Amino acid sequence: MPAARALLIAAVSSGQGKTTVTAALARKLVRSGRSVRVFKCGPDFIDPMVLARTSGAPVESLDLWMVGRERCAKLLAEAAQEADAILIEGVMGLYDGTPSAADLSREFGVPVLAVIDAGAMAQTAGALVQGLRDYGPVDLAGVVANRIGSAGHAAMVSSSLRGVPLLASLPKQARALPERHLGLVLPDEVAGIDALLDELAEQLAFDEAAFENLAPIQFTPPASSPAAGVPLAGRTIAIARDAAFMFLYPSNLRLLESMGAQLRYFSPLANDAVPADADALYLPGGYPELHAARLSGAVQWRSSVREAHAAGMPIYAECGGMMALAEQLVDKGGASWPMAGLLPGTVTMQARLAGLGPQSMPTAHGLLRGHTFHYSRLDSPAEPAGYTLKQPNGAQGEALYRAGSLRASYFHAYFPSNPAATAALFLREDV
């Protein structure tokens, strides 16, 4: 049975430094010669890109609802077969959400490494840590004190923990991982990102002996489930992939390939046309609002997607992909840019969060699970074909639009949650 040392890195809230600590610890373990696999708890696209850069391996999501317990178990068991260490970055606060990072910790017996922002506290850190441990409770392996000012400061924090080990500390950073409205800036856009990650690893004071004393966890792979089959055999799916369209779950791509599809990537930002041999088109989310001028000027891309739509090619567009298919996109500065125009209406960026949280999409094959996270709104005269359902209360979620062969929404789907519904998105049939 595969086994590996594992930690779930969590905190009392967002903003405590979970991603920075996870990245620093992953890079430190890799530099010490260990094979490391990193996961992200909950739906996320951006943090996994940073963590993949620091660990050298793809980063999958773990979530007991969206991904499902069986697939989480499968992913962890696969990782334990090839890695010495598994790190799981939590989401928001340790107990936030239904299910929460704490639920995932307890489900698979992964101890928690609590990150605390100690920049403006000392002995009160102990009270915070005791509450994090006992509220659930959870198995607490230790603490990382972030934004430590001095060795004396670290000693005060450590003495307050009442037996909980201080496994690591990280000093206040002169240079941090930069952020924007949807989260961290993408690693390829950060000058000297690898040097910054190496610097974080060097500055992380880490008790490697305590880590080695952690008992390896045995991850039991699930009983083999029925294969999804190959309903997409012989079909080529064109996938937009560049700085404007990059929010892709690795598991989504793996599932499409396992169902027989050939994946063909192209770049609307480079004014690439939809590949001529494509049978279907997938436009994932991303940052079209940051590249609106280039997309607007990509005449070949815009005309090719209109031609594909007129020919009845199945097109699935989610969030940023949908934004690029509207008639107009109004950026944060108020400038209006013409888009491909397959969906009537205008997308407008706004300072206020417009949608966040887990949701599911009703289909003829059952619910397809996923999430939503966006700062824009679509004002369209088109009548929605339906709506997603918010998790866990079932309230009305995002609008689902149909325009001929186009299916579009702010909803991001996690394809392995329903392979049959996923295949239907890329076939000429009802979903």
Cβ–Cβ under 8 Å, residues 53 and 124: no
Strand partners, 41: 62
CA angle 178, 10, 393 (to 5 degrees): 100
Cβ–Cβ under 8 Å, residues 115 and 9: yes
Whole-angstrom Cα distance, residue 408 to residue 116?
Answer: 40
Whole-angstrom Cα distance, residue 369 to residue 421?
Answer: 10
How many Å is the Cα radius of gyration of the chain?
A: 22
Cβ–Cβ under 8 Å, residues 285 and 45: yes
Concerning whether 319 is annotated as a catalytic residue, the answer is: yes
Interhelix angle 193-203/46-55, rounded to 10 degrees, is 70
Environment class of residue 154 by beta-carbon count within 10 Å: exposed (0-12), middle (13-18) or buried (19+)?
buried
Residue with tokens 């950073």: 173
Whole-angstrom Cα distance, residue 243 to residue 263?
Answer: 18
Set 319, 326, 339, 400: catalytic member: 319
Cα dihedral sign for 97, 55, 142, 171? negative
Cβ–Cβ under 8 Å, residues 248 and 45: yes
Structure tokens at 92: 């928001």
Quick one: which of 167, 166, 19 has its CA closest to 88? 19
Structure tokens at 228: 């999804």
Residue 284 to residues 157, 272, 289, 387, Cα–Cα distance (Å): 44, 16, 14, 19
Structure tokens at 320: 């940023």
DSSP-derived 3-state class of residue 68: helix
**Beta strand pairing call for 366-374 and 336-338:** unpaired
**Beta strand pairing call for 376-379 and 343-349:** antiparallel
How many residues are recorded in the chain? 431
Q: Just list the catalytic residues.
A: 319
